[in-house]
Amino acid sequence: MAVIDLSATSTFPKVHYIASAGTTQQEITLPPGKLRVSVGSAAALYVAWESVSDGAAMPTNKVSVASANILSFDLSHSSQDRATKLAVAAQASTANIEIILERI
């Protein structure tokens, strides 16, 4: 697995599709600035902001997103107190995951 680097994204909204993500962390580097991030899949998945490390097991502190649902969250403009990366993973087997970045 390789880190997905979206940090240079300059056109919004940005949609990124991850095909067949497994049950270990898929790390995503986020662009700077105030963002709304939405993550969803037809399959159940996990999202984490802490202890992000590409290819590692998902950490204990994670959010469960039910199948066919979307989790949306806003990130601060301040680079001192916002997440700069996140991890996604399928809860079981694999999942096709959609990530949407919006400038707010």
67 φ/ψ angles, rounded to the nearest 5 degrees = -60, 145
Instruction: State residue 17's pLDDT score.
Output: 98
What CATH number did the domain enclosing 78 receive?
A: 2.60.120.10
Bridge partners of 15, per DSSP, are 100
Per-residue model confidence (pLDDT) at position 65: 98
Residue 82 has pLDDT above 90, yes or no: no
Q: What is the pLDDT of residue 11?
A: 96
Q: Is 12 helix (H, G, I), strand (E, B) or coil?
A: coil
Contacts of 74 (CB under 8 A, 6+ apart): 34, 35, 36, 37, 104
Domain around 52: 4-103
Instruction: Give the chain's domain count.
Output: 1
d(CA 7, CA 10): 9
> Does 12 have pLDDT greater than 80?
yes
6 three-class SS: coil
**pLDDT band at residue 88 under the 50/70/90 scheme:** very high
Question: For the segment 54-76, what is each residue's pLDDT rounded down to a tens digit?
Answer: 999 999 999 999 999 999 999 98
% of the chain residues with pLDDT over 70: 99
Q: What is the average pLDDT score of the chain?
A: 95
Q: Residue type for 70, please?
A: I
Rounded Cα distance, 67 and 16, in Å: 18
